[in-house]
Amino acid sequence: MMPLTMAKTGETVTIRKITGKDEVRQHLAELGFVVDSDVRVVSEIAGNLIVQVKDSRVALDRSMANRIMI
């Protein structure tokens, strides 16, 4: 497993685990980041990511993206 920040632009990956406090995991789940769902990295700027999850694009800062393991 590795953090989402290690994924390359344009790559589609599957979420294996989400770490962090319960509130953080709940917030990410509400955005669509759940285990076994696919996420595509749209772009990456200075470690911050824009990802496509389900039918939405979501911006994540580096610290949030590091909590999502792929």
Output the pLDDT for position 47. Answer: 82
Residue type, 67: R
Interatomic CA distance for residues 22 and 28, integer angstroms: 10
For every one of its 70 residues, what pLDDT tens digit does the chain have, with 9 covering 90 and above? 999 999 999 999 999 999 999 999 999 999 999 999 999 999 999 889 999 999 999 999 999 999 999 9
Domain count, the chain: 1
Interatomic CA distance for residues 33 and 27, integer angstroms: 9
Domain around 41: 4-69
The contacts of residue 16 (CB under 8 Å, 6+ apart) are 1, 35, 69, 70
User: What pTM was computed for the model?
Assistant: 0.90
Output the pLDDT for position 31. Answer: 92
* CATH classification at residue 32: 2.30.30.90
- Name the helix (H) or strand (E) containing 40: strand 38-45
Quick one: which of 14, 34, 20 has its CA closest to 63? 20
